[in-house]
Amino acid sequence: MKKIAFAGTDGRTLLCALVISTAKSDIYPEAFQGAVIRGTPAMPKFTEMMNWPVEFIPTDSNSASDYAAAIIRNLKAGKIDYVIPMPEALLFEGLVDEVEAAGFGKHIIGLNKAGAFIEGDKIKCKQFCREAGIPVAQSWAEVDAKNYNDALSVCLSYIHEFGGAVMKFPYSAGGKGARIILNSWEIREVYDKLIKDYKDSYKAMFGKRENWPLLIESFMSGVEISFTILVDRLGNFQILPTAMDYP
């Protein structure tokens, strides 16, 4: 039996582990067991009440280093076979790097710290896509979030040319950093709300004197579909079924 563990503290870790433990495969005849690394305090009791076949692996704290210690310890003991980190923050903090350094790089899925900028810095990701010829929004700009006039000018230009603009806090925001603007009356309100939501994050990252990077993109309408591909260091890849983040 192969054991696949999901690291994190949100509900996805438990649901993914449950699916692994209960789903049947037409391709792989062997049985699989799902596990949660850390989770929340309520999860083990709830799982027991529901009689779900999910195991739990504790960590000393919520830090990437303590996650890594628990993962490495259980991989060495043969208690788990593969690990999938769920929160982006664990990738940014080098969880994959620590597991790789211990000799278990083939047993964890995710970006190392050097590659995690694709998830953690939308502006650097846009620059990477431009260099690689990967299509993104038709137009985008980086402005100083402290300079409302620059943000206003870009938004007005995009509203005129593309019918709208999207203002984004360019760092990890749990999927809540993008704000759509469809007319000029919304610009100030959206700008003020975004600054209010991320002012503390900007201060922690850049202080008061440095520029606060703000990403503004031209608006695109249509259906959003996620294409996920698993790739290893040798260039081998597996295309997964398409998915949507919303109904």
Q: Are 36 and 83 in contact (CB under 8 A)?
A: no
pLDDT digits (tens, 9 = 90+) for 170-188: 998 766 789 999 999 999 9
**For 135-247, which CATH class?**
alpha beta
- Residue 247 banded pLDDT, cuts 50, 70, 90: low
pTM above 0.85, yes or no: no
Average pLDDT, the chain: 94
Q: Extract long-range pairs of 94-103: CB within 8 Å, 24+ residues apart.
A: 94/64, 95/7, 95/64, 95/67, 95/68, 95/71, 98/64, 98/65, 98/68, 98/72, 99/68, 99/71, 99/72, 99/75, 102/68, 102/72, 102/75
What single DSSP character describes residue 113?
A: T
Identify the weakest region by mean pLDDT among 32-41, 139-148, 223-232.
223-232
Write out the two tokens for 214. 């703000």
pLDDT digits (tens, 9 = 90+) for 87-120: 988 999 999 999 999 999 999 999 999 999 888 8
Annotated domain spans of the chain: 2-118, 135-247
Q: Which CATH number fits domain 2-118: 3.30.43.10, 3.40.50.740, 3.40.50.20, 3.30.420.40?
A: 3.40.50.20
Q: What is the mean pLDDT of residues 124-138?
A: 93
